[in-house]
Amino acid sequence: MKLKRLKTKIEKNLYQGENGEIFFLKVVDREYKGSKKKPLYYLSKKEGEKVKYISGLFETQKQGVYSLDFKDEITGMKTLYFAEFKEGGEVLYIRAKKPTCKNRVC
């Protein structure tokens, strides 16, 4: 999924997907006591008049790349994705993590 930045505000960016959907990327504004790894940002999506939380973005070892997960509406399972910022944050690419096939049959 490719998102292009539409607007930058204080602690919030507005992105638009290729299909016209609107996404918000906000700086995390609360404490996560007792959590080892805390999200730096969170991603949400405009659905009608409401905004729906999607996932927190967690820092990885690679600069400009964050991990996040999407919950499947049908099964309830979470799938790991990566979010990568390009062009100084003008473009945000979200892609699924490729399976490793180490402990499962592929």
Q: What is the pLDDT of residues 24-58, one digit of tens each?
A: 999 887 666 666 778 889 999 999 999 999 999 99
- The predicted model scores a pTM of 0.79
Q: What is the pLDDT of residue 39?
A: 87
List all residues 6 or more positions away from 69 whose beta carbon is below 8 Å from its beta carbon. 55, 78, 79, 80, 81
User: Is a pLDDT exceeding 90 seen at residue 84?
Assistant: yes
Strand 12-17 and strand 2-9: pairing? antiparallel
- CB-CB neighbours of 66 under 10 Å: 22
- Distance set, CA 73 to CA 46, 65, 94 (Å): 17, 25, 18
Q: What is the pLDDT of residue 45?
A: 94
Report percent pLDDT > 70 for the chain: 86
